[in-house]
Each structure stands twice: as structure tokens, then as C-alpha cells.
Amino acid sequence: MKLNQLLLISIAGVIGAANPSAASNIELGPRPHFLVDLMEESPLKDKLKACAAKAVKPSDFSIGHRGAALQFPEHSAEGYRAAARMGAGIIECDVTFTRDKELVCRHAQNDLHTSTNILGTDLAETCKTPFRPAANGEDAKAECRTSEITLEEFLGLRAKMDGRNKAATSVEDYMAGTAGWRTDLYAANGTVMTHAQSIELIRSLGAKFTPELKTPKVEMPFDGFSREDYAQKMIDEYKAAGIPPEDVWPQSFDLRDVRYWIENEPEFGKQAVYLDGRYGRDGIDPMDPKTFSPSMTELKEMGVNYLAPPLWMMLALDDDGRIAPSPYALKAKEAGLKLIAWTLERSGQLNNGGGWYFQSVRDAIDGDGTLYEILDVLAEDVGVEGVFSDWPATVTYYANCMGK
């Protein structure tokens, strides 16, 4: 079968499985109510409880992070549909490319060994690092890249919950490993997607788009395919599908990509999102504006309108130990930048202080009941435009209750 025939059949299957009424039939399930019940008594808890019987609509404030990755394989058709059913008004496709330079939805160019079943297929022989079992105190290893296989080969894979068992001595045990999620329900039942397919599916679900151009793991240009070609091709697929620029928030951790869109695709560039990864040992200190380089004002002067840091960078504890906006958040707002937070519902239970995503306010966290308090500070005090979540229902409930 020719590749174009395979693509047409695949697209028809994906769209045919979509629920055309998903946008009008939101299903939040019990988790938002569970989280509200865990909250300490407060006016916020009272308000959230009073919304329990309120009709729910999709909200652009609720962004599906890789779909609904808490319980569905990321960047799968099933995960995207789940995100839409939970009211995510915007859904993310992380974009990378195959050996034949076609765009597909994967969190990284080199994660096929943890996010698909490739090691259990004949394509395992294409992996840059073949599976190596754990031995002599060394972890099991593998590395498989989209850039090592064709689009047709990619479409033959199945998505699974991302994760690996570092102690595995067999491929089966390695693929069954997780980062804390149960995988027996959805482990290898996800439908992988091209970027173009994701556009058609997400549109059919009544949602909008936030594609992230992933940093290549190969030297660029790749067989004549430059970084600029890559950034342009992602935008071109929205233009070819007739998607209005105002429905697309293209993202990148590389400021060069954002500036490319601003200069070469200004209608899309207006909503280009600079994902701020300037943290860590040699990065900026969100509590010290003197370390911000470029500064918030300089970013705005470049034409950047949207800035998206991890949520902990926008939060701090005030003198009374309460959760409040950080100097980073205050300076960004002062410069006129619009903020987007990532990622809620990705740290597991918050009994340990919330982990990496909540590190700046861990002393104020005493369990999952704090989640909506944090979301309320982000929404009302920081003033974020939207929040990425691995389980969009949590944010959708809040957004509907608060009129977001």
C-alpha cells in the first residue's frame, strides 16, 4: 500500500473515532470533587463546592498537556479525545520529524523506546542504541529516534504510557516500566499520530492548538532540512489545513524559533510562546530580576507576547508563608507579557511537598488539597492565560467555576 493511501486510511480512522459532540458533552469525572473535598475550609473551597452542579463547557484556560497524559499514552488519538472530553479548549502536539522529514507528534525525537512499542517490533534494529539489559550495576538502556524511521514505519507503531524499567533484563520488562503510572489499562493501546492528523482530530473535537517545535537530537541541517525549514513546515501544516492563526499558539524552548515565527509568520508569531527553560544551575533565579537575561522588557521588545515557565517559577512564599506571585511573575506582567503555566497534575500526590513542579512553595503544601489553592493564585494573583495539565478536568472545573 502506498504511503498516501495509508495516511488517508489512518486519518479517516482517527477522525471517524472522534466524538463530534465531545465539545458539548464534557465529562469531568470525580477527581475535581475529590480535590475540593481535600481542601481546608476556606471561601475558595466553598465557592468550588457550590459549582458542583454547574453545567460545564470547554475552556481555553484548560490546556491538554500531550493530551491527557496522566492515564492515556501521550500524543495518542485516545489521549487527545480524552483531553477534549475533559473540556480542554487547547490541546498540545509536540512536533518532531521522521527520516523522510515528515512531522509527527512525539515529546522528543529520541523517546520511541519509552513511549511506543518499537523495541517489541522489527523496527528495533533501527534504534540508535539497541536494548541493553541491566547488568553489573548498570541500568538497562535503549534509544530509538523518529529520525531513524520513515513516516510509514512510524505509523505502524503503537503508543504506550511513557516509561521504562531501568532494572529490566528483558525487552518486555523494560517496556512495562513506568514513571509511576499504572500501565495495565492503556499500556500499548495508543494510536500514534502525524502532526497533520493531530490538526484534523483536534479540529474535529472543537479544540484549538498549541504545537511545540522540539529541539532536534540530530545535527541540523538534516539531509538538507534546516532548523528554519522545520519551523516553517510546522506552520505550513496549519495553513494547509485552513486553521486561523488566532487558534494556534506555536511553542518552543528555543528563542530563535519564536523569533523566526515573529519575523516570518507574523500572524502566527503574535501568539508564539517562548517556553522558558532558563532555570537550573547556570540559569536565571526567578526570585532575582537582576539575573533575567534577556530581561522581560527585552523579550517584549523582540515581539514576544507569551511566556511559559514551569509553574514554580511564578510562585513564591510571602512573609507570612502564603503562596504568592514571584518576582519573575511580577516582572513579566509589568512588561506586558502574557503567562502560561506548566504542568499541573504531573507530580503525583503532593504529600511530599509537590516535587519539582512546586519546589518554590513546597513548605506551604500539605497534600493534594493544596492544588486548587495554587491554581487560584496562578489564575487570580499571577493572572495566567492558561494552565497545562496532565488531567485537564481539574483545570476545566476551576475555569468554569471562576468564569475563565
CATH number, domain with residue 74: 3.20.20.190
Residues 95 and 219 in one domain: yes
Q: What average pLDDT score do residues 215-229 get?
A: 98
Give me the number of domains the chain comprises. 2
Confidence of residue 23 (pLDDT cuts 50, 70, 90): low
Instruction: Give me the percent of the chain exceeding a pLDDT of 70.
Output: 91
Name every residue whose Cβ is closer than 8 Å to that of residue 5 and which is 6 or more positions away in sequence. none
Residues 222 and 351 in one domain: yes
The backbone region for 340, taken as left when phi is positive above 0, alpha when psi lies in -120 to 50, beta otherwise, is: beta
Domain span holding position 181: 110-188
Q: Which of 17-26, 28-37, 149-158, 192-201 shows the lowest mean pLDDT across its residues?
A: 17-26
| Residue 214 contacts residue 275 (beta carbons within 8 Å) | no
Residues 173 and 297 in one domain: no
Q: Is the pLDDT of residue 10 over 70?
A: no
Residues 199 and 296 in one domain: yes
Burial class, 375, CB count within 10 angstroms (exposed 0-12 / middle 13-18 / buried 19+)? buried
> Amino acid identity of 65?
H
- State the CB neighbour count (10 A cutoff) for residue 197: 23
Residues 201 and 340 in one domain: yes
Residues 120 and 101 in one domain: no
Looking from the CA of 135 toward its CB, the CA atoms found within 13 Å total 5
| Residue 153 contacts residue 192 (beta carbons within 8 Å) | no
Residues 136 and 284 in one domain: no
- State the CB neighbour count (10 A cutoff) for residue 345: 23
Residues 114 and 171 in one domain: yes
- pLDDT at residue 219, as a whole number: 97
- pLDDT at residue 21, as a whole number: 47
Please identify which residue in the block is written with the cell numbers 503562596: 323
Q: Is the pLDDT of residue 256 over 90?
A: yes
Q: What average pLDDT score do residues 133-140 get?
A: 96
Residues 333 and 252 in one domain: yes
Residues 73 and 116 in one domain: no
Nine cell digits for residue 58: 470547554
| DSSP category for residue 172 | H
